[in-house]
Amino acid sequence: MAKVSDILAAKGREVLQVDPDDTVLSAIASMVERGVGSVLVTRGKEIHGIFTERDYLAKIALQGRSSRDTRCATSCPCS
């Protein structure tokens, strides 16, 4: 069985970040490209929140909102 340290060594320590003004569609595309389930929503060094796959389902898809027109700032829990 792999150790957590082995998994982190293979995964890397990069944290995927998007700007609050980015569209949800671009955030999702970045998540898919990198194979992750969430992104940190930041502006400069300030953390605005985190956007997850669950946020997409609950706040965009199920509410009939457009991922092309919705900004991450209006979709992450901390904003």
- pLDDT, average across residues 1-23: 82
Euclidean distance between CA atoms 19 and 27, whole angstroms? 9
Question: What pLDDT sits at residue 77?
Answer: 63
- pLDDT, average across residues 60-70: 94
51 pLDDT more than 70: yes
Domains and CATH numbers, the chain: 14-74 (3.10.580.10)
CA angle in degrees (0–180, nearest 5) for 71-72-73: 90
Look up the pTM and report it.
0.80
